[in-house]
Amino acid sequence: MDRAGPRVSRPVSVLLIDLGGVVVRDPRPRMVLELSRGHPSRRKRVHAAYYRLSRALDRGAIDLPTMYRRLRREFAWIPNYPAFRSWVRGRSLSVIASVVRALRRLKESARLRIVLASNISHAVWTGLEEKFHLSSLSDRAVLSYRVRALKPERAFLRQMQRAARVPLERTLFLDDAGSNVRRARRYGFPSRVVRGGAETVQILEELRRPPPGFPRALGRSPRRAV
């Protein structure tokens, strides 16, 4: 079971956390509905094309203008590029304020290093940075468009390992996707599925105030992206 057992039951030196536990996004069906202008006959084709291209965008294989041009070739009704760019960058509705506060408290405690690990495109990350300054919550960020690999591919997990800089048994990886957690566990990361902000906050608070016998506070490393 992905969620069995106590939340934090051993020493942790590095927390790796997916942005899915921090950010609230528009659901994909709504995105497709907007792009297809509500026509059911178009929705399946738009969904397939958008999913394929958004994966390439998150991997860093294409940029946002290229994605737009390819979609426009198939679907001429898609809005002009400035509107499309604003739409893509605005997909993230909000951050989960309680999780952001808990992450900030954890970082300020300097107990452990925090690594953001997420599948995300340059366009969406830029939008999030402008609105919420998420990089300030971590010491390092492993982002798919920078490392040219998607989680849970082995190449992405290797970058997570490099960012951790400690034995994997001293890490904890949190993600809202069970498939990512299962692959990360097979790689060697102690991992846990989190569902919702309340559960994430509980884990972060346990890491900030661990029981006796956990490691002493770690010095904070300068933040830099992979």
pLDDT, tens digit, 9 for 90 and up, residues 76-135: 777 788 878 877 776 555 667 888 889 999 998 877 899 999 998 888 888 788 877 888
Contact 182, 2 (CB under 8 A): yes
What are the sequence ranges of the domains in the chain?
Answer: 14-24+93-225, 27-90
152: cis peptide before it, omega within 30°?
Answer: yes
- Average pLDDT (187-205) is 89
CATH of 14-24+93-225, picked from 3.40.50.1000, 1.10.630.10, 1.10.600.10, 3.40.50.150, is 3.40.50.1000
Tens-digit pLDDT profile for residues 12-65: 899 999 987 776 665 454 555 566 665 666 777 877 888 889 889 999 999 999
Position 219 pLDDT exceeds 90: no
Helix (H) or strand (E) holding 15: strand 14-17
Give the position of tokens 């002493």.
216
Contact 206, 172 (CB under 8 A): no
Structure-block tokens of residue 88: 């893509």
Tens-digit pLDDT profile for residues 158-194: 999 999 999 999 999 999 899 999 999 999 999 999 8
Distance (Å, whole) CA 87 – CA 81:
10
Report the residue count for the chain: 226
pLDDT of residue 123: 83
Distance (Å, whole) CA 47 – CA 50:
5
- Average pLDDT (196-224) is 65
The closest of 213, 160, 211, 215 to 189, measured between CA atoms, is 160
pLDDT of residue 74: 84
End-to-end CA distance of the chain: 31
